[in-house]
Structure 1
Amino acid sequence: MGTIRVKNIEVYANHGCMEEEGRIGSDYVVNVKLKTDLNKSVISDDLKDTVDYVAVYTIVKEEMSIRAKLLEVVVQRIVNRIMKEHETVEKVSVNVAKKNPPIGGEVEEVSVEIKGKRKKA
């Protein structure tokens, strides 16, 4: 088992409960951590034998572009797609942070993290 991390993916998106968040948008930072079997890829040196981090990045970008009121919804969609599209992933952790949220005070970010785990057959 090994770990693949795709760190600090910067995205501009329009999530939030307030109407103005949908119009104006905000900056987000996404971090993905995957647990997967790397034994085959370390021998083959072939991309098809591992989790392509470009594909993970693409999933994040696509799911972040679909508006949601709650970050929880977006994070769960990312987790679901990674688990569905990458069958070798045993565990995934996704954290989405909204930079400078409009909450009426000085707050650097708010974030939501959800973990997924493949069910044993």
Structure 2
Amino acid sequence: MGKIRVNNIRVHSNHGCLKEEMLIGSDYRVDLEVHANLSRPSQSDKLSETVDYVHLNNIVKEEMAIRSNLLEHVAKRIINRIFLEIESVLAAEIQVSKINPPIGGDVESVTVVLEAKRPT
């Protein structure tokens, strides 16, 4: 078993329930960790036998571009796509953070964390 992490994926998107969030948007940070058996690619040195982190990054960027009211919803969509498109991924954890959220205080970010195992 092994882990692949893609950290600090930065995107601008229009998630949120407030009208100004839908219009202006906000900055987001996404951190992703996937679990897979990495013993074979660690020996073969073949990209085709591992989890391609370029693919992971593209999934995150594409799903973050689709507006959702809740960070929980976009995070779950990202995990669902990872399991759908990358069958070697056995488990995933995603953190989606809204930077400088409009919540009436001096808050650096709010973060939603979801974990899931591949459905059997």
Give TM-score, length-normalised by structure 2: 0.97
* Matched letter for residue 36 of structure 2: T
CA-CA distance at 1:19 after TM superposition: 1.1
Match of 1:87? Answer: 87
Match of 2:57? Answer: 57
* Matched letter for residue 104 of structure 2: G
Q: Provide the rounded CA distance (Å) in 1 between the counterparts of 2:8 and 2:56.
A: 13
Q: Provide the rounded CA distance (Å) in 2 between the counterparts of 1:12 and 1:110.
A: 15
Number of aligned residues? 120
* Matched letter for residue 20 of structure 2: E
Q: Provide the rounded CA distance (Å) in 1 between the counterparts of 2:119 and 2:85.
A: 15
Q: Which runs of 5+ in 2 are unaligned?
A: none
Q: Provide the rounded CA distance (Å) in 1 between the counterparts of 2:81 and 2:66.
A: 14
CA-CA distance at 1:26 after TM superposition: 0.5
- Alignment RMSD: 0.7
2:72 aligns to what SS in structure 1?
helix
Match of 1:5? Answer: 5
Q: Per-residue CA shift, 1:13-67, capped at 9, x if unaligned?
A: 1100011101101010000001100011011111010000000000000000000
Q: Provide the rounded CA distance (Å) in 2 between the counterparts of 1:56 and 1:50.
A: 12
* Matched letter for residue 110 of structure 1: V
1:115 aligns to what SS in structure 2?
strand
Match of 2:46? Answer: 46
Q: Provide the rounded CA distance (Å) in 2 between the counterparts of 1:112 and 1:23.
A: 22
Q: Provide the rounded CA distance (Å) in 2 between the counterparts of 1:111 and 1:39.
A: 32
1:66 aligns to what SS in structure 2?
coil
Q: Provide the rounded CA distance (Å) in 2 between the counterparts of 1:46 and 1:11.
A: 30
Give TM-score, length-normalised by structure 1: 0.97
The runs of 4+ residues in structure 1 deviating greater than 2 Å are: none
Match of 2:107? Answer: 107
Structure 1 range deviating more: 111-120 or 87-96: 111-120
